[in-house]
Structure 1
Amino acid sequence: MYTLIGTPKARPFRVLWVLEELGLEYEILPLSSNDKAAMAEFNPTGKVPALKDGNDVIIDSVAIMQYLADKHGSLTFKAGTIERAKQDSFTQFICDEIDGALWTAARNSFVNPEDKRVEAIKPILMWEFGRSIRALEERLGGNAYLMGDTCTVPDLLLSHCFGWARSAGFPMDSEMLKAYGRRMMEREGYQRANAIRSLS
């Protein structure tokens, strides 16, 4: 059985969603990033999430998502294939351009100490986010998922970022991607994970 370390909100929700999509057995140790001392046992930075698999601990939400997908042979293409390379290019783009903009905005809004924030950067981040959305819209085209007919890790990652963007006030000007996000939220794995999140 796996142990998901982190309150199933924010980035830990990504891992929870994968666990539910794959139908895996797990338990939750609901620590937050405010529980620095307790989290340091699993991650020296004190950040959530972490995943315990036996005696081993994996940190970073995207690394955990891909590990679970690889281990259980779902939500991913096989490593070493051209399809996997294309899948990974989506993952990297989302981490760099979408998640990166949102996380930088968060750091400059409430995460960093007040004297370490640059409020003026947020409009620039929103502009960069919009540019990235247009690029994703072009790459998605008429496909159901980023990789065509197959739902993969970057789909879950992107959909989570869309929810984050809404709560952070980032504009989503793409009807195509709004519809894509709604499709992702209709998945049974998301519905189960969201029900657990709502109770936390």
Structure 2
Amino acid sequence: MYTVIGYGGTRAFRLLWLLEELSLTYRHERVMPFTDAARARTPGGRLPALQLADGTILQDSTAILTWLADHHDALTFPAGSVERARQDAWVHMVLECLATPMMCWTLMIQRFRAETDPVVRAWVADSVDKGAERIAQELEDSGGPWLMGSCFTIADIVLGHCLHWAERYERPVSQPILRDYLARVEARPAYRTADWA
């Protein structure tokens, strides 16, 4: 059985959501990053993490999503295929355009327990706005409801989570194509049943 270590309101939600999509049994340890409880489970207390049945701990939400999808041969394309390269390109674009600026903001709060300065807040807002515009333009060419056309993949989990994250940071995307995309994400049963706590 898998154990997800991390609070559902963080990137751990991506793991919880994927496990729900795959209908897999798992436990959820609700642990906040960089706390003593987190440091007891992972080096430096960085989360989320996934503990395997043999006790192995995997870290980094994107690496874990990729491993789970490959391991269960679901929500991904075969390694070495052109489709996999395109899927991975989507993941990297979303991480660059949306996740990176929001993670900078998050780390300032988690590590220093303080609000960041207005310059950082303005940079995050501007970066998210520009990133959403780039993703919206690319999504128009995808040919289907999901990033890979008609196939829902782990790239959609990363983007769906980031769009929700942007809303939580009071930077909701304004592009109609992304608003419609988020509505499709939020209608997925696995998204609705995954634990945000």
TM-score (norm 1): 0.89
Could you tell which deviates more after superposition, 69-78 or 5-14? 5-14
Shift of 1:114: 7.2
Distance 1:112 1:2, change over 3 A: closer
Task: Measure, in 1, the Cα distance between the counterparts of 2:58 and 2:82.
Answer: 26
Runs of 4 or more, structure 1, over 4 Å off, are: 114-117
Unaligned runs of 5+ in 1: none
Q: Distance in 1 between matches of 2:114 and 2:181?
A: 39
* Alignment correspondent of 1:158: 159
- Partner amino acid, structure 2, of 1:134: E
Tell whether the 8 Å contact from 1:65 to 1:153 is kept in structure 2 after alignment.
yes
Matched, 1:120 2:119: yes
How many pairs align?
194
Deviation at 1:35, TM superposition (A): 2.8
Where does residue 183 of structure 2 map in the other structure? Answer: 182
CA contact (8 A) 1:107 1:117 kept: no
Q: Give the stretch that moved more between structures: 15-24 or 122-131.
A: 122-131
Q: Is the 8 A contact 2:163 2:172 kept in 1?
A: no
Moved more, 124-133 or 86-95: 124-133
Sort the Cα spacing of 1:59 and 1:126 in 2 relative to 1 into closer, same or farther, 3 A.
same
Q: How far apart are 1:105 and its partner, in Å? A: 2.5
Deviation at 1:121, TM superposition (A): 2.3
Contact 2:11 2:48 in 1 (8 A): yes
SS at match of 1:147: coil
| Letter in structure 1 aligned against 2:147 | L
Which residue of structure 1 aligns with residue 133 of structure 2? 134
State how 1:1-200 maps to structure 2 within 5 Å.
1-36=1-36, 38-53=37-52, 54-108=54-108, 110-113=109-112, 117-141=116-140, 142-193=143-194, 196-197=195-196, 200=197
| Percent of pairs with identical residues | 30
Q: For 1:21 and 1:7, how far apart are their aligned partners in 2?
A: 19
After TM superposition, give the deviation of residue 143 of structure 1 in Å: 2.2
User: More deviation in 12-21 or 47-56?
Assistant: 47-56
Normalised by the size of structure 2, how large is the TM-score? 0.91
SS at match of 1:20: helix
Cα 1:116–1:175 change in 2 (3 A) is closer
User: What is the CA distance between 1:23 and its match in structure 2?
Assistant: 0.6
CA RMSD of aligned residues (A): 1.9
